[in-house]
Amino acid sequence: MIKKYLIILTILCLSSVHAQYDNWTPAKVILKNGKSFRGWVKFPKHSGGLISIGSTSFKYRKKKKGKTEKYGSDNVDEVIFGDEEFTTLHYKYVPIKKKKSVLMELAVRGKANLYTRTVLKRNSIFTGNPNFPSTTTYYDDTQYYIIRNEEQKATLIAGPNSFGGFISKAKKYFSDCSKIVDYLENELYELNNIEELVDDYNLLCE
């Protein structure tokens, strides 16, 4: 019986869940052909499980109560959240697999671009109680991706499913710049200042 519960628990921990951001947000959509238009946007939050599922497209309305349309990586270059007077966040489609691009926030722009996305994680705990074999909670977590302008696919540098320590992965990715590697070895950067790390790489490394 315990073995059965452990198998169920393993499936729960590894399975993926996804949800959408609840609120329609004013945004400017920029297409790959250069055209742009304003309206209301909401887009999916992907899972943080081993297999990330969820739609890569987002929903758009010209008016908040208007007809819903869908757009995706095939024709969209960037989504800028905010109204005409105040820009808040820049989102772009980033390739994370050969045939999959997802919408992520652009945190640092330069030779190397840093992107982040919020993923939904599920945590299941085996209780030992046959009537309630497990309890499940959901929480948000953050993934950090880096991609150089000439690269075809972004690298998951930190966050769920990055499989490895942040420092070791950063040293490998930035191995083309000895200054940054030295700084990492001397522990001048931690995950909470990853934006500073990428900024320094773009500034110091040719």
What is the phi/psi pair of residue 202, to 5°?
A: -65, -30
pTM score, whole prediction = 0.78
Identify which has the larger pLDDT, 181 or 83: 181
- Other beta carbons less than 10 A from residue 31's beta carbon: 13
Burial of 206 (0-12, 13-18, 19+ CB in 10 A): exposed
Taking alpha carbons only, the member of 156, 167, 173 closest to residue 96 is 156
* Residue 65 predicted with pLDDT over 80: yes
Confidence class of residue 60 from pLDDT cuts 50, 70 and 90?
Answer: very high
pLDDT in tens, 98-128: 888 888 999 999 999 999 988 877 677 776 6
Taking alpha carbons only, the member of 91, 94, 88, 69 closest to residue 78 is 91
What type of residue sits at position 99? K
* Residue 7 predicted with pLDDT over 70: no
Tokens coding 12: 């729960």
Among positive and negative, which fits the CA dihedral 174, 180, 182, 188? negative
CA distance 187 to 66: 51
DSSP 3-state assignment of 162?
coil
Q: What pLDDT is recorded for position 107? A: 95
Give residues with Cβ within 8 angstroms of 70, minimum separation 6.
57, 58, 59, 60
Q: Can you count the helices (H) and strands (E) in the chain?
A: 4, 12
Taking alpha carbons only, the member of 180, 118, 123, 169 closest to residue 146 is 169
Q: What pLDDT is recorded for position 57? A: 85
Taking alpha carbons only, the member of 168, 158, 153, 151 closest to residue 195 is 158
- 80-98: average pLDDT: 84
**In the Cβ-directed half-sphere of 37, how many Cα atoms lie within 13 Å?**
11
pLDDT in tens, 29-45: 999 999 999 999 988 66
pLDDT in tens, 168-177: 999 999 999 9
* Residue 73 predicted with pLDDT over 70: yes
Sequence length of the chain is 206
* Residue 10 predicted with pLDDT over 50: no
* Residue 2 predicted with pLDDT over 50: no
DSSP 3-state assignment of 55?
coil
pLDDT in tens, 144-197: 999 999 999 999 999 887 888 899 999 999 999 999 999 999 989 999 999 999
Give residues with Cβ within 8 angstroms of 137, minimum separation 6.
122, 123
